[in-house]
Amino acid sequence: MDELKINKSKIRLVKGDITELNVDAIVNAANAQLIMGGGVAGAIRSKGGAEIQKEADNKTPISVGGAVITTGGNLKARHVIHAVGPRQGEGNEETKLKNATFNSLNLMDEHNLKTIAFPAISTGIFGYPIDKCADIMISTTKTYLKSETGIEEVIFCLYTQKDYDVFKERLK
- The pTM of the full predicted model, rounded to 2 decimals, is 0.96
Q: Is the previous residue joined to 86 through a cis bond, with omega within 30 degrees of 0? A: no
pLDDT value at residue 125: 87
- Mean pLDDT for each consecutive 10-residue tract of the chain (172 residues)? 90 96 96 88 93 94 96 97 96 97 98 98 94 98 97 97 96 90
Chain-centre distance for alpha carbon 85? 9
Please return the burial class of 101, using the count of CB atoms within 10 Å of its CB with bins 0-12, 13-18 and 19+.
Answer: buried
What is the CATH number that goes with domain 2-171?
Answer: 3.40.220.10
Residues 158, 130: Cα–Cα separation, whole Å: 11
pLDDT value at residue 172: 87
Residues 136, 127: Cα–Cα separation, whole Å: 15
Q: In a 3-state reduction of DSSP, which class is residue 117?
A: strand
> Could you say which DSSP state residue 87 is in?
P
Residues 137, 93: Cα–Cα separation, whole Å: 12
Residues with Cβ within 8 Å of residue 46, at least 6 apart in sequence: none
pLDDT value at residue 1: 53
Domain boundaries, the chain: 2-171
pLDDT value at residue 23: 98
CB atoms near residue 91 (< 10 Å): 8
Residues with Cβ within 8 Å of residue 99, at least 6 apart in sequence: 64, 65, 66
pLDDT value at residue 132: 97
3 touches 13 (CB < 8 A): yes
Residue pLDDT, tens place only, 116-128: 999 999 998 899 9
